[in-house]
Amino acid sequence: MADDIDSLIDELHAEADEDRSDAETPDVGIVMGSDSDLDTMAGAYEALSELGFEEVTVDGSPEGRFTFESYVVSAHRTPELMYAYGETAADRGLSVIIAGAGGKSADLPNMTASIAFPVPVIGVPVQEKSVDSVIGMPTGAPIVAVDAGKSYNAGLSAVQILASEHDELAERLVEYHDGLVSGVADVSRALHDRGIEGFRERDG
Amino acid sequence: MADDIDSLIDELHAEADEDRSDAETPDVGIVMGSDSDLDTMAGAYEALSELGFEEVTVDGSPEGRFTFESYVVSAHRTPELMYAYGETAADRGLSVIIAGAGGKSADLPNMTASIAFPVPVIGVPVQEKSVDSVIGMPTGAPIVAVDAGKSYNAGLSAVQILASEHDELAERLVEYHDGLVSGVADVSRALHDRGIEGFRERDG
Amino acid sequence: MADDIDSLIDELHAEADEDRSDAETPDVGIVMGSDSDLDTMAGAYEALSELGFEEVTVDGSPEGRFTFESYVVSAHRTPELMYAYGETAADRGLSVIIAGAGGKSADLPNMTASIAFPVPVIGVPVQEKSVDSVIGMPTGAPIVAVDAGKSYNAGLSAVQILASEHDELAERLVEYHDGLVSGVADVSRALHDRGIEGFRERDG
Amino acid sequence: MADDIDSLIDELHAEADEDRSDAETPDVGIVMGSDSDLDTMAGAYEALSELGFEEVTVDGSPEGRFTFESYVVSAHRTPELMYAYGETAADRGLSVIIAGAGGKSADLPNMTASIAFPVPVIGVPVQEKSVDSVIGMPTGAPIVAVDAGKSYNAGLSAVQILASEHDELAERLVEYHDGLVSGVADVSRALHDRGIEGFRERDG
Amino acid sequence: MADDIDSLIDELHAEADEDRSDAETPDVGIVMGSDSDLDTMAGAYEALSELGFEEVTVDGSPEGRFTFESYVVSAHRTPELMYAYGETAADRGLSVIIAGAGGKSADLPNMTASIAFPVPVIGVPVQEKSVDSVIGMPTGAPIVAVDAGKSYNAGLSAVQILASEHDELAERLVEYHDGLVSGVADVSRALHDRGIEGFRERDG
Amino acid sequence: MADDIDSLIDELHAEADEDRSDAETPDVGIVMGSDSDLDTMAGAYEALSELGFEEVTVDGSPEGRFTFESYVVSAHRTPELMYAYGETAADRGLSVIIAGAGGKSADLPNMTASIAFPVPVIGVPVQEKSVDSVIGMPTGAPIVAVDAGKSYNAGLSAVQILASEHDELAERLVEYHDGLVSGVADVSRALHDRGIEGFRERDG
Amino acid sequence: MADDIDSLIDELHAEADEDRSDAETPDVGIVMGSDSDLDTMAGAYEALSELGFEEVTVDGSPEGRFTFESYVVSAHRTPELMYAYGETAADRGLSVIIAGAGGKSADLPNMTASIAFPVPVIGVPVQEKSVDSVIGMPTGAPIVAVDAGKSYNAGLSAVQILASEHDELAERLVEYHDGLVSGVADVSRALHDRGIEGFRERDG
Amino acid sequence: MADDIDSLIDELHAEADEDRSDAETPDVGIVMGSDSDLDTMAGAYEALSELGFEEVTVDGSPEGRFTFESYVVSAHRTPELMYAYGETAADRGLSVIIAGAGGKSADLPNMTASIAFPVPVIGVPVQEKSVDSVIGMPTGAPIVAVDAGKSYNAGLSAVQILASEHDELAERLVEYHDGLVSGVADVSRALHDRGIEGFRERDG
């Protein structure tokens, strides 16, 4: 097999063997089947960033307590990498994995959920036609999924899962939600007070 | 919860407590899950306007006998507002509600129908994929629905419902319909008399 | 054309020409495409009966204020009867029509809605595959629909429409709804208090 | 009802009462639910023209033996016109009707097939979502249908039906078909002889 | 290739070469992809029999003017037989072919329509999942289709096609249709006069 | 509103006001739209029981550290109860909610996810046709879902979520999984060693 | 991990390391996701047996030249076994793999195709809802598939693939096909000669 | 029939009668229903070219050992050509056929698989709506299929089939696959090392 894939796999195993505390390892792992999925999967990045998470890159671990990491992992072209990623997930300190894939055979989320078990995996169908393949796991092999393209919600859900242990995250989520509510209240009042025609003129 | 949403809810309850006659309150309420639904939901506004209804805005009640009002109410972001709107609907004098929502989880029409019962609710699926969610209510929890995007027809149906009590509205509907019929008659004669080629040249 | 169909049509026109008060004519008309639809459409009968409506038959008008009638009308085998039924609906005193049909070409509800306009028609798709055909009316030709097989809800909706004019019906609907709520409360408490195993044993 | 629709209906009845020979009346009737269907339905015009049929317009009957006519007939806005067209079809000398409609409630082909029976009706679903509604007729109420948008094929099929009586038309159809076959033979040889790259360069 | 299939093919060609009048040859050919389709396809037999057609068997041609014949022809197992049947159809005197097949690759109706052209072919999808495959022919290669399983209607449509040439058949179709109408009139009156409960008791 | 529903709601609020430790409150809440969903939703009960969770009933809190509770909550018949359940979830100590509903308008999981936010909700579509409605939440309003009927997997996922905080649960999950693996290994060896015929005979 | 799965995996690697000739190793491998798939997957066994293949079991290699083997391999419960099976396929002498799985996430065929590449894998969707997941592989990761449940055809296709190298197998396939053709010829003649009624009586 | 189609058919038969060695004849035949399918079907050309295959054109056989050819063959317009191509496939030396067609009645792959049997045919649905028609073959009539539009994968699969006999091709496939793996490894490392924002900036 190609050298470059082997070195990636070796690094995952090396990190799994390190003795790092929870605060030093990424909390959330984002994996996607192809870099062509990135525009859709970037929603998870946006949600996590919105809630104060920082990305672990080659520059090392960020300052903040809550972090995530990103990889391209192709189930069909690099099954070895997928296997290594799932197998080392718990030992590498991940608490939740967000896994997205497109096409009708969107196997990456499912297979990652199977291999990384019991680390919870949130599946993101990158296309509408990927929903069935992502959600359809048999009894005994759980995955939880969001709707097609909703990687932003997957990011929120990952934080919800972490929040049961970290009250600070629960507070951030409530604050985030209050902002949403205010936004609806504002637009609702504007629509009612101006009427449909007036509202459209304003936004026109 | 945010102040702005609370003040909206308070106002709904205040209006419900007022002692206004039927002629003073809006007859039809239009609610939609997001202002991004407005382009689709504007059809209800157009149908009601075509039939002589006027919109109640911050400027107070219009002169005409038949009026409507509009709000943005998000089932998933502002469930409290949705609950308050449905709960006060009868007391606020609404005779029919037109409720539209998009997405696959288009809960606003259904939930409003459940909460505002027995005020009739006409559900408008804003997208094709919203139809199932809007129409699929269980026995005992009725909603009536129009097809995806057909808010114009929802507006007509709201007037049909009101017309059983108000003969004037029945007359307006008949007149509106006669206009439609004449339109078809004209184009049918034109197509037949000129032939397909001649007709297309004229319209080309 | 056959004599028997002609006599039915003649009777409809005769009734339309009679000078009867609203209280003397049926408020709701139930039509279905075939007597094979009766098992599904009987839900409308049950809902109306539950709410105190009585059926007009050959024995004449019942005592009660609120009544309904039933006919088999096949759009594809007896278009003349369908046309006559729709055309005379308003003059025969009907305030709402519940029209059900099965198959993929469920034309009866739509055509009746077009011909009886502006009398509101609640379409009942008798089968899942009838939903699209019933709901899919073009702009300007409104129908409101319930979900496949939900004729019971169509009955409730018909009463909701009549209730805007008749407070007595609104009260009956609220009372009906309170009964539903109590039923859920009872079963919810039983499930919680006994636990899932205990509840199933009880119901076993 | 509007005068213009009545005069159209009167003319249809008048033509039905005339005593014209088969050669004087149109052989094929094309009806469509809206003039917005014309771009799709024009395929029938093209096929019939390709096979030597001429259109009957206000200018009177063409010279040729085989003719057709076109009307806009809306099932939902002008059910009276639809009924009149179907009812007079046989007496007006039509041998085949091509009826097209769009939307999910594409009732025109079905209703026309029912009313004009036993004149055969070829249904054209103007959109993919119209297929179910057009094809789904119950036992005893026959329609034959082509695929969505295939009005050209409906035109060919109409001629096939007429050809069982008119050998001249069978010959025209065979000749038309030979042209198609030669076209495939040419392009097949070109692809094989030049190879895929060469063929694409030629056509580039 | 097997002897038995060759002898069938030889007989078809022999009949095509015979010089028989229209009255001596079968008017309608029924072909189906497998004898497991017979329960569904028997509807065509019933409709044709109802309208006075008789089946041509090994016992020779029946007395009656209008006749049909039946064959099993598998597109996928016996393409040679399918080709021979289509190729000889016109010369063997067939005016219409009713072709039914099941499964998702229901090729028999389409291929027969292509090979037997310009003899009109009415496709019968034997299963719901066969509809797309039967109806979806490209421009220039026409087929007309009935709905899944509606071979009875295919039989009626075959007679409608023949009726443009044979007034006697048009009369039989009108008479058949009058019977249907009377049936609906009877059941409609019974439902109305007895009411839903009374009607169900009678039929219980 | 009915007394019985009010007392349920009051009890939820009372429990929310109590000052109980995490160990005293149920960790997982199971809600379902109707007791007719119980057969499907019982899978969650089985998974939780398999992993050592006990149910909180009227008999009070069980001995074990990890517990759950069950309620029937109808979104469409008892929106007030649904609102109260969601609103008190965090204060009542729930860490995860498993919410199941059937039908095409399966609103309970979505609405509960919106109201109980940021407590994570795992939606269980009780029927295949409920999947779209459950999974299709808009951006900003997250839910995670399992496939239709997979309440057993929802139970496992709830434990996976709790396991990030409780190592003991992670160990139970690994042990559970090892049992599954052994089961597959056994049957795989049996199939290979005996061959397909031998294996079927054994199981016959 | 469990001992039993490890010993299976070890045996696969041991066989891969053996130095056996093509004639000594199984030509076709049948894998399925669960023994509950066996009723569906047994078709492959039947087709291979029909064409003279024998199964390799614990009793060692059969006499015949052409052989196959069977395993249960669960993608979601035993990803390690799946990986080992795919990885050793070429070295264990397999020329074709038939892989079947059910459910909406039918990952086994796809993942096996990816891991065993370039050994060709024929995917068998065990249920209709498995088709999309099995067939939908991205560019560069090929699988070939048969229709839902058609494991018999997968068996035939496996032999077709082997037949390009082994003329003996091509002859067996032709002989098999001749039998099919004769069967159709027989039933076609019987249907035609007896007529539909006579045929049904015979088979009744 | 047209001369040009006859000469094509004659040439196919002439080539079948020639006594050429395997190395002199094309290994893979590519057929498509229309030259409008060429953009989609060109993927097979690209895959075969990538793996060192050359196309046989009018310029004669190429130098290389492994070759392919291309034809347009319309099932519905030129059934004779389709029959001739399938019937001569084995004798013309083809080892695998790649057959693509679009539309809902994509009969070419199926019919070619039936006629050319036992030469294996890989069906390519040119459109999503062609999948069912291509894959849905009955028991006893095998085809293997790739997903809609995946002609590139069909090319790879054709080589996989040939590779069981030709080790050189297996090596080329492994080398091709290593390139794919390296590509994923590179992009995965880049995404992880730069982070999502850094990666998008680089690619922006």
Q: Would the pLDDT of A1 be above 90? A: no
Of B33, B75, B135, the CB nearest to F104: B135
- Shortest alpha-carbon distance between residue C23 and chain B (Å): 14
Residue E31, strand partner residues: E71, E99
Please provide the DSSP assignment of E134-183 as one string.
Answer: HH-PPTTS--EE--TT-HHHHHHHHHHHHHTT-HHHHHHHHHHHHHHHHH
Residue A59 is predicted with a pLDDT of 83
Choose among H75, H77, H138: nearest Cβ to E103: H138
Q: How many CB atoms lie within 10 A of CB E107?
A: 32
pLDDT digits (tens, 9 = 90+) for G32-56: 999 999 999 999 999 999 999 999 9
Query: For residue D118, is the peptide bond before it cis, meaning its omega torsion is within 30 degrees of 0?
Result: yes
Predicted local confidence at residue B62, as pLDDT: 85
Residue A2 identity: A
Q: How many residues does chain C have?
A: 204
pLDDT above 60: residue F83: yes
**Confidence band, pLDDT 50/70/90 cuts, at residue G204:** low
**A79–G132: do the CB atoms touch at under 8 Å?**
no
Tell me, what's the pLDDT at A202?
79
Q: Subunits that touch chain H (at least 3 Cβ pairs < 8 angstroms)?
A: A, D, E, G
**Which residues are CB-neighbours of B55 under 8 A, at least 6 positions away?**
A195, A196, A197, B45, B62, B67, B68, B69, B70
In the predicted structure, residue E1 carries a pLDDT above the cut 60: no
CB-CB neighbors (< 8 A) of F132 in chain B: 104-105, 129, 132-133
**F98: which 2 tokens?**
């498993």
D19 and D103 belong to one structural domain: yes
Which of A42, A57, A71 has its CB closest to that of H188? Answer: A71
Mean pLDDT of B161-170: 95
Which of C9, C35, C76, C88 to mutate to probe the D interface, most D CBs <10 Å?
Answer: C76
Q: Given this model, what pLDDT does residue A122 score?
A: 98
Helix then strand count (H, E) for chain D reads 7, 6
pLDDT band for position E22 (cuts 50, 70, 90): confident
Burial C154-166 (b: 16+ CB within 10 A, else e): bbbbbbbbbbbbb
> Contact, G146 vs G140, CB < 8 A?
no
In the prediction, which pLDDT does G1 show?
A: 52
For G1, which of F181, F197, F198 is closest by C-beta distance? F181
Q: Nearest residue of H to residue E103 by CA position?
A: H136
| Helices C38-50 + C151-163 axis angle, to 10 | 40
The closest of G50, G31, G28 to G41, measured between CA atoms, is: G31
Residues of D in contact with E118 (CB under 8 A): 159-160, 163, 170, 173-174, 177
Q: Which element (helix H / strand E) includes E196? A: helix E167-203
What pLDDT, in 10s, does the model give residues C108-139? 999 999 999 999 999 999 999 999 999 999 99
What are the tens digits of pLDDT across the range A104-113? 999 999 999 9
Nearest CB neighbour to G8, from listed F185, F194, F199: F185
- Distance, CA of C89 to CA of C78 (rounded, Å): 17
Length of chain F: 204
- What is the percent of chain C with per-residue pLDDT over 70, rounded to a whole number? 98
Length of chain G equals 204
Q: Is the pLDDT of residue B22 over 90?
A: no
Dihedral-angle region of residue C51 (phi above 0 means left; psi in -120 to 50 means alpha; beta otherwise): alpha
Q: Quote the pLDDT of residue H2.
A: 62
What residues contact residue A154 under an 8 Å CB cut-off, 6+ apart? A43, A44, A47, A98, A100, A122, A124, A146, F142
Nearest-neighbour CA in chain D from C113: distance (Å): 8
Q: Is F34 annotated as a binding residue?
A: yes
Beta-carbon separation of D5 and B192 below 8 A: no
Strand positions, DSSP E, chain G: 28-32, 54-55, 67-72, 96-101, 121-125, 144-145
CA-atom Rg of chain A in angstroms:
19
Look up residue E112 and give its two tokens: 């027969």
One digit per residue, the tens of pLDDT, for chain H of length 204 reads: 567 899 999 999 999 999 888 888 999 999 999 999 999 999 999 999 999 999 999 887 788 889 999 999 999 999 999 999 999 999 999 999 999 999 999 999 999 999 999 999 999 999 999 999 999 999 999 999 999 999 999 999 999 999 989 999 999 999 999 999 999 999 999 999 999 999 998 766
Nearest to G105 among A34, A103, A136 (CB): A136
CA distance D17 to chain C (A): 18
Could you tell me the CATH number of the domain that includes residue E71?
A: 3.40.50.1970
Determine which of D92-96, E199-203, F88-92, G104-108 has the lowest per-residue pLDDT on average.
E199-203
CB contact under 8 A, C129 and D134: no
Note whether H56 and H105 are same-domain residues.
Answer: yes
Residue C137 contacts D where some CB pair is shorter than 8 Å? yes
Q: 3-state DSSP: chain F helix, strand, coil percent, rounded to 5?
A: 55, 15, 30
Query: Hey, is E129 helix, strand or coil?
Result: helix
D192 vs H: CB within 8 A: yes
Count residue pairs from G and H with Cβ separation < 8 A: 115
Query: Residue E140 and residue D177: Cα distance in Å, rounded?
Result: 8
- Give the pLDDT band (50/70/90) at residue G2: low
- In Å, what is the CA distance from H1 to each residue of D62, D163, E91, H5, H71? 33, 20, 16, 8, 19
Q: Which residues are bridge partners to A60 per DSSP? A: A57
pLDDT in tens, A6-57: 999 999 999 999 988 888 899 999 999 999 999 999 999 999 999 999 999 9
Phi-psi region of B103 (alpha: psi -120 to 50; beta: other; left: phi over 0): left
Dist. CA E198–CA F11, nearest whole Å? 49
Using alpha carbons, list the distances in angstroms from residue H68 to D29, F85, F193, H64, H156: 50, 67, 43, 11, 13
Which residues constitute the domain of residue C77? 3-165
Tell me which residue has tokens 């202002």. B35
Please check whether residue C184 touches F, CB under 8 A: yes
* Tokens read off for G111: 């993942």
- Residue G59: which pLDDT band, with cuts at 50, 70 and 90? confident
CB A171 within 8 A of CB A144: no
The pLDDT, as a whole number, for residue F1 is 52
CA angle G174, G180, G183 (to 5 degrees): 145
Query: What are the structure tokens assigned to H191, written together?
Result: 């995404």
Asked if pLDDT for residue C100 goes beyond 70, the answer is yes
Please provide the DSSP assignment of A83-110 as one string: HHHHHHTTTTT-SEEEEEE-SS--HHHH
- Return the DSSP state at G149: T
Q: Does E118 touch chain H (CB under 8 A)?
A: no
CA distance E82 to chain H (A): 11
Position G64 scores a pLDDT of 85
Rounded to two decimals, the ipTM of the complex is 0.96
Question: From the CA of G45, how many Å to the nearest CA of chain H?
Answer: 14
If DSSP states are collapsed to H, E and C, what string results for G11-66?
HHHHHHHCCCCHHHCCCEEEEECCHHHHHHHHHHHHHHHHCCCEECECCECCCCCC
Whether D201 and D142 share a structural domain? no
> From residue C201, how far is each of C190, C196, C204 by CA, in Å?
12, 9, 5
With a CB cutoff of 8 Å and minimum separation 6, the contacts of A49 are none
Of F103, F133, F140, the CB nearest to B105: F133
B128 and B50 belong to one structural domain: yes
Cα separation, C76 vs D112, whole angstroms: 9
Token pair of E5, please? 């299939």
C158 vs E20, residue with greater confidence: C158
Number of other residues whose CB lies within 10 A of the CB of residue B144: 29
The reply to whether D64 and D149 lie within a common domain is: yes
Tell me what pLDDT residue F204 has.
Answer: 62
Q: What is the Cα–Cα distance from A204 to B20, expressed in whole angstroms? A: 35
- Determine the residue among H31, H41, H72 to mutate to test chain D binding: the one whose Cβ has the most chain D Cβ atoms within 10 Å: H72
CB neighbours of F156 closer than 8 A, spacing ≥ 6? Answer: A140, A142, F47, F51, F173, F176
Rounded to the nearest angstrom, the minimum Cα separation between A56 and chain G is 28
CA distances D134 to D144, E117, E147, G200, Å, are: 9, 24, 9, 33
User: Do A15 and A30 fall into the same domain?
Assistant: yes
Indicate whether F70 and F10 sit together in one domain.
yes
- Residue B72 sits at φ, ψ, to 5 deg, of -95, 125
What DSSP element (H or E) covers C165? none
Residue B120 has pLDDT above 80, yes or no: yes
Mark whether D129 and D42 lie in a shared domain. Answer: yes
Which residue is listed with tokens 């190592």? Answer: F167
Distance from CA of G122 to the nearest CA of E (A): 19
Across the range A153-171, mean pLDDT stands at 96
Same domain, G177 and G154: no
Q: Does B187 touch chain C (CB under 8 A)?
A: no
Mutate to test the interface with B, among A152, A181, A203 (most CBs of B within 10 A): A181
Q: Judge if D155 and D171 occupy the same domain.
A: no
Q: Tell me whether E48 touches chain D (CB under 8 Å).
A: no
Q: Do E55 and E111 reside in the same domain of the chain?
A: yes
Return the higher-pLDDT residue of D4 and H113: H113
Q: How far apart are CA E40 and CA A49, in angstroms?
A: 61
* Element of type H or E holding H181: helix H167-203
Asked whether the beta carbons of G32 and G100 are under 8 A apart, the reply is yes
**Helix/strand/coil (H, E, C) string of B12-78?**
HHHHHHCCCCHHHCCCEEEEECCHHHHHHHHHHHHHHHHCCCEECECCECCCCCCEEEEEECCCCCC
- Edge-to-edge strand list for the sheet holding D96-101: D54-55, D67-72, D28-32, D96-101, D121-125, D144-145, E144-145, E121-125, E96-101, E28-32, E67-72, E54-55
Give percent of chain E above pLDDT 70. Answer: 98
Kindly list the residues from chain D whose CB atom is less than 8 angstroms away from the CB atom of residue H56: 195
Mutate to test the interface with D, among B131, B147, B178, B191 (most CBs of D within 10 A): B191
E194 is in an annotated binding site: no
Chain-chain contact of B76 with F114 (C-beta, under 8 angstroms): yes
Grade residue C64 by pLDDT with cuts at 50, 70 and 90: confident
Mutate to test the interface with F, among A132, A147, A167, A172 (most CBs of F within 10 A): A147
In tens, the pLDDT along B59-80 reads 877 888 899 999 999 999 999 9
| H149 phi-psi bin (left φ>0, alpha ψ -120 to 50, beta other) | left
Instruction: List chains adjacent to chain A, taking adjacency as at least 3 C-beta pairs closer than 8 Å.
Output: B, F, G, H
How far away is chain B from the Cα of F118, in angstroms, using its nearest Cα?
Answer: 12
Q: Which residue of C has its CA nearest to D132?
A: C104
Position D196 pLDDT exceeds 70: yes
Q: Once rounded to an integer, what is the mean pLDDT over residues A152-158?
A: 98
Burial class (CB in 10 A: 0-12, 13-18, 19+), H11: middle
Number of domains in chain B: 2
The Cα of G120 is separated from the nearest Cα of chain H by a number of Å equal to: 6
Locate the chain A residue with the closest alpha carbon to G101.
Answer: A138
Is C37 annotated in a binding site? The answer is yes
Question: What's the whole-number average pLDDT of chain D?
Answer: 95
pLDDT-based confidence at residue A2 (cuts at 50, 70, 90):
low
Examine the domain organization and report whether F117 and F201 are in the same domain: no
Alpha helices (H) in F94-166, listed in sequence order: 107-116, 131-135, 151-163
pLDDT value of residue D204: 62
Least trusted range by pLDDT, from B26-40, C56-70, D186-200: C56-70
User: Mind listing the pLDDT tens digit for each residue in F20-59?
Assistant: 888 889 999 999 999 999 999 999 999 999 999 999 998 8
Range E199-204, long-range pairs (CB < 8 A, 24+ positions): E199/C35, E199/C38, E199/C70, E200/C38, E200/C42, E203/C35
Residue range C17-27: average pLDDT? 90
Q: Which two tokens stand for residue B202?
A: 């004229």
